[in-house]
Amino acid sequence: MTAPQAPHQTRTFQSVLVTGGAGFIGSHVVRTLLRNHEGIRIVNLDVLTYAGNLSNLRDVEGDARHTFVKGDIQDGALLAGLFEEHAFDAVVHLAAESHVDRSIENPLAFLETNILGTATLLNAAKTSWTARGCMETSLFYHISTDEVYGSLGEDGLFTETTPYDPRSPYSASKASSDHVVRAYHHTYGMPVVISNCSNNYGSHQFPEKLIPLMIRNIVEGRELPIYGEGVNVRDWLWVEDHAAAIDVILNRGWVGDTYNVGGLNEWRNIDLVHKLIELVDAKLGREHGQSKSLIRFVKDRAGHDMRYAIDASHLEARLGWKPSVTFEEGLAGTVDWYLENQDWLEEVTSGEYQKYYEAHYTNRG
Ligand SMILES: NC(=O)c1ccc[n+]([C@@H]2O[C@H](COP(=O)([O-])OP(=O)(O)OC[C@H]3O[C@@H](n4cnc5c(N)ncnc54)[C@H](O)[C@@H]3O)[C@@H](O)[C@H]2O)c1
């Protein structure tokens, strides 16, 4: 095993392939990279599953440094052509099937996209960087999840050396892809870096995930379904802080290193839902706690992990990153965003957003 190596200096990548950049975190990453790196060129490759929404990137549409390509990370020929045309020196890989409940319903799609898709992408990078003689100066950055570590008891935190113990088809597929990325590093000398992050929240998140789903249902006076007794614990991180961490790791992360990214911010699901009820009811001028009666405890998710919690001290010690907002600030801003962007929620829930690509992109040269 090679020990992680510090870069000689902050890297400045010129031509970056971002995968999954029309998704929730990916769209924030694209925006962050464009904002922070004037000379960067980004190709954003996304197949636009139900979770991909190009209207998430409306504000960078006119930016000539950003090119959107609709395509699948499992398409080796497409990847080879893109590497040839754009001579990428870095890959920031976020494309994935990402929802645990869907992975329980349809595990194969997760194994295909998350494992085979990652392997196809690694292979395209290896082929191109080897042919161009630039393997050493390139970087493959793989974005992963804390769910690969399994479930914690009442105390303890996941560190970068916690053994992998994934339990859902989603986390098993992400764990496998992490292993494949490390295999390309150790076997072929590909410079790689991996980060494993806790639950993200913020604007533009598909409303199947807990926080936007609850906000929407509270606003509309619908039932608030909570798995089991609501005592499962998750660590929550503001998506823009995650995007900032990804930028730092891309440019200064040690080659071969792994970074846990988290908010030191644990919440039981039921307490988080109470907090959201408080915030949304107050914003809408309703009586305090009025929406509590909407809570419904439903049959627990199969194999539901009890607790995730992240020790992010390695990232802070080595690269100086830490979250920029408190959970109170981040959550209040998030509630405001969903309340002010009801049309976005409406577009997403009605399926209207899926017409955005045809309407805005297909007639361009
Ligand atoms: N959301 C979280 O809390 C969280 C936490 C830690 C890690 N992650 C990881 O971060 C990444 C992004 O997560 P997210 O929440 O933004 O997910 P998301 O589901 O919102 O977005 C995923 C994007 O990938 C695209 N995609 C899916 N399959 C593809 C394929 N075969 N080819 C090309 N594009 C494809 C989708 O169209 C979508 O735009 C994932 O790798 C996920 O595992 C997410």
Task: Write the pLDDT tens digit of every residue in 127-158.
Answer: 999 999 999 999 999 999 999 999 999 999 99
Residue pLDDT, tens place only, 155-199: 999 999 999 999 999 999 999 999 999 999 999 999 999 999 999
Residue pLDDT, tens place only, 43-58: 999 999 999 999 999 9
Ligand 1 binding residues, C-beta < 6 A = 19-20, 22-26, 45-49, 51-52, 72-74, 94-98, 113, 117, 143, 145, 174, 197, 199-200, 206
pTM: 0.96
- pLDDT tops 90 at residue 2: no
- pLDDT tops 90 at residue 11: no
Q: What percent of the chain has pLDDT over 70?
A: 98
Instruction: Please state the atom number of ligand 1 nearest to the C-alpha of residue 26.
Output: 16
Top pLDDT among 215 and 8 is at 215
DSSP state of 95: -
Nearest to 360 by CA among 56, 112, 7, 28: 56
- Taking the centre of ligand 1 as the mean of its atom positions, its distance from the CA of residue 248, in whole angstroms, is 20
- Taking the centre of ligand 1 as the mean of its atom positions, its distance from the CA of residue 23, in whole angstroms, is 6
Residue 47, SS3 per DSSP: coil
5 pLDDT band, cuts 50/70/90, is: confident
Most ligand 1 atoms within 8 A of CB, residue of 17, 24, 208, 210 to mutate: 24
Instruction: Please state the atom number of ligand 1 nearest to the C-alpha of residue 93.
Output: 41
Q: Dihedral sign, CA of 118, 122, 123, 128?
A: positive
Q: Quick one: pLDDT at residue 234? A: 94
Q: Has 308 been annotated as catalytic?
A: no
- Taking the centre of ligand 1 as the mean of its atom positions, its distance from the CA of residue 96, in whole angstroms, is 4
3 pLDDT band, cuts 50/70/90, is: confident
Look over the chain and give the mean of its residue pLDDT values, rounded to a whole number. 95
Q: Which residue's alpha carbon is nearest to atom 44 within ligand 1? A: 145
Instruction: Read off the amino acid at residue 82.
Output: L
Most ligand 1 atoms within 8 A of CB, residue of 31, 98, 196 to mutate: 98
Matching residue, tokens 């008891």: 153
Nearest to 120 by CA among 86, 100, 139, 93: 93
Segment 276-295 shows an average pLDDT of 96
For the chain, domain boundaries = 15-202+236-264+307-325
Q: Of 46, 97, 147, 305, which is the active-site residue?
A: 147
Segment 9-31 shows an average pLDDT of 95
Q: Quick one: pLDDT at residue 136? A: 95
Q: Which residue's alpha carbon is nearest to atom 1 within ligand 1? A: 200
Cα 165 from Cα 175, distance rounded (Å): 8
Radius of gyration of the chain (CA): 20
Segment 6-30 shows an average pLDDT of 93
Most ligand 1 atoms within 8 A of CB, residue of 18, 19, 25, 140 to mutate: 25
Q: Quick one: pLDDT at residue 6? A: 84
- pLDDT tops 60 at residue 364: no
Q: Quick one: pLDDT at residue 363? A: 53
Residue pLDDT, tens place only, 228-281: 999 999 999 999 999 999 999 999 999 999 999 999 899 999 999 999 999 999
Q: Has 170 been annotated as catalytic?
A: yes
Q: How far is CA 228 from CA 150, 172, 201, 296, 300, in A?
A: 19, 23, 22, 10, 4
Q: Which two tokens mark 248?
A: 């730092």
340 pLDDT band, cuts 50/70/90, is: very high
Q: Of 72, 146, 247, 257, which is the active-site residue?
A: 146
Segment 290-295 shows an average pLDDT of 96
CATH number, domain 15-202+236-264+307-325: 3.40.50.720
